Amino acid sequence: MRKKIVITLCLAVIALYFFSTFAVADEIKPIQLPAPQMDGGKPLMQALKDRRTSRDFSAEKLSLQTLSNLLWAAGGVNREDSGKRTAPTARDWREIDIYVAMQEGLFLYDPSANLLKPVLSEDIREMTGKQPFVKEAPVNLIFVANYSRMGGAGDEDKRFYAATDTGYISQNIYLFCASEGLATVVRGYVDREALAKKMNLAQDQAVTLAQTVGYPKK
């Protein structure tokens, strides 16, 4: 009897292990984004006029099409022959990665494939900032500098250019949101050390800023 109980418990543990493994794998599949729509929207001067910061967000999710358009505007490929992006970077280092924190989990945007690569199956939106709205807004973007891509630059130059290049991406997002009637706010009030640890960033990576995007609360 005791032997049967032990065997039954072992089988249950094995079954639970495989179930958990497949469940987690199922939760963090890559998301292929639809091709970005590059027409429509407001004229540039109108978008500049309407550009603003907002901290009032609806919990309504963004469609995959809107998310694709947003990420392409932020730092997508706009010259297929060279792979260059919508936002400039010093010496074309392309050192800023865009992570996307949503209810479904944390993803890394791959501009070349227009793909969201899974990083964590956990909802970490609350860790992306210290303001209460971040845990309810549908999308929190996290900008991460990868200093290993920045050649022989000194530490001071790396920090300076990574900050500058993050600013270009953030402004692209502001203008896209103004054009599409979305709300956004760029945020520096972030526990960068805790967030980097949660994201499993390498020693030569650093969180620069975060930016929340969503529909305005009505």
* Average pLDDT over the chain, rounded to an integer: 90
**Residues for the chain: how many in total?**
218
pLDDT of residue 66: 98
Over 80: is that where the pLDDT of 8 sits?
no
- Look at residue 25 and tell me if it is in a domain: no
Q: Which residue range is the domain that position 120 belongs to? A: 31-214
- Look at residue 20 and tell me if it is in a domain: no
Over 60: is that where the pLDDT of 12 sits?
no
* Dihedral angle over CA of 9, 12, 13, 18, nearest 10: 160
- Look at residue 82 and tell me if it is in a domain: yes
d(CA 198, CA 178): 31
- Look at residue 22 and tell me if it is in a domain: no
pLDDT of residue 40: 86
0.75 cut: is pTM over it?
yes
Over 70: is that where the pLDDT of 9 sits?
no
If you compute the radius of gyration of the chain from its CA atoms, what whole number of angstroms results?
Answer: 20
Q: How far apart are the first and last CA of the chain?
A: 64
- Look at residue 115 and tell me if it is in a domain: yes
DSSP string across 43-79: -HHHHHHH------B--PPPPHHHHHHHHHHHH-EEE
* Residue 102 DSSP one-character state: E
Over 90: is that where the pLDDT of 59 sits?
yes
Nearest to residue 142, comparing CAs of 61, 75, 207? 207
In the chain, the percentage of residues whose pLDDT exceeds 70 is: 88
Asked whether 211 and 137 are in contact (CB, 8 A), the reply is: no
Nearest to residue 113, comparing CAs of 83, 82, 73, 74? 83
* Dihedral angle over CA of 129, 66, 84, 154, nearest 10: 0
What is the number of domains present in the chain?
Answer: 1
Mean pLDDT of 64-82: 97
Over 50: is that where the pLDDT of 15 sits?
no
- Look at residue 77 and tell me if it is in a domain: yes
- Look at residue 6 and tell me if it is in a domain: no
pLDDT of residue 2: 52
CATH number, domain with residue 197 = 3.40.109.10
What is the dihedral sign for C-alpha 163, 168, 172, 175?
A: positive
- Look at residue 181 and tell me if it is in a domain: yes
**pLDDT, tens digit (0-9, with 9 covering 90-100), for 143-162:** 999 999 999 899 999 999 99
d(CA 2, CA 113): 55
d(CA 186, CA 140): 10
